[in-house]
């Protein structure tokens, strides 16, 4: 979940002129990163070997 602080930090990192699409893209990326960190903290990860095995099946 995003926090107000992280949203404000993201907005202040953007240039003075930006599109709503750029803002949405950054917010989506930030949310995905946060979710990934939370999953890693909870141990919801797979090994590199398992990843390679799954990719071979594609």
* Domain ranges across the chain: 4-12+19-57
pTM of the model: 0.69
pLDDT tens-digit profile of 2-58? 789 988 998 999 999 999 999 999 999 999 999 999 999 999 999 999 999 999 998
Q: What is the pLDDT of residues 43-58, one digit of tens each?
A: 999 999 999 999 999 8
Give the number of other Cβ atoms within 10 Å of residue 41's Cβ.
9
Q: d(Cα 5, Cα 55) in Å, to the nearest integer?
A: 37
């Amino acid at each position: 979940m995003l926090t107000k602080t992280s949203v404000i930090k993201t907005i202040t990192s953007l240039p003075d002129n930006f599109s709503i699409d750029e803002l949405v893209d950054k917010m989506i990326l930030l949310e995905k990163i946060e979710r990934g960190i939370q999953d890693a903290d909870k141990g919801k990860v797979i090994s590199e070997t398992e990843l390679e095995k799954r990719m071979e099946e594609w």
